[in-house]
Amino acid sequence: MSHTYASTLFHIVFSTKERQSAIFDPAKLWAYVAGVARNLNYEALAIGGTENHIHLLVRIPSHVAISEAVQKLKSNSSRWLRENGRWLGWQEGYGAFSVSVSKADAVRRYIQNQPEHHRRRSFEDEFVTLLNKSGIAFDRSEVFG
């Protein structure tokens, strides 16, 4: 085959340090992160979250490792957050879940409805559910540090 074809669609989730409510203007942050993604040639299909975490549905180029993509998104958003107010930082880790194109619209809706979703469920419960649904083995005592 003379070309590379890859579907690299990910649902990425990361939280503020100690899951503190530290994102004071989420809509502005989501817009900024969308711009960062665009500048990195990532296709951001949805960005949302709450005051203590962010969700992204993003397609990354096949030559970019997911760890590199997340590192660039976190570092750029951290710089912006520091410049625009008091910022404690992001939690060290992240979740990255592959998404089938057939499920992209459902994940997009899920991300867009985060404030409503979190009226009923904590971030911690949500993240553990994502790990379970993805078949990822984990020790709950180590997930949140």
- The CATH number given to whatever domain includes residue 22 is 3.30.70.1290
- What's the total number of domains in the chain? 1
Task: Confirm whether 64 is domain-assigned.
Answer: yes
pLDDT digits 0-9 by tens, 11-51? 999 999 999 999 999 999 999 999 999 999 999 999 999 99
In a domain, 2, yes or no: no
Tens of pLDDT along 112-127?
999 888 899 999 999 9
> Which residues span the domain enclosing 55?
9-143
Distance, CA of 7 to CA of 60 (rounded, Å): 9
- Give which of 135, 122, 140, 129 is closest to 15, Cα–Cα: 122
> Tell me, what's the pLDDT at 85?
82
Whether residue 4 lies inside any domain: the answer is no
Whether the per-residue pLDDT at 1 is higher than 80: the answer is: no
CA dist., res. 144 & res. 29, Å (int): 23
Cα–Cα distance, 37 to 58 (Å, whole number): 8
| 58-9-15 Cα angle (round to 5) | 50
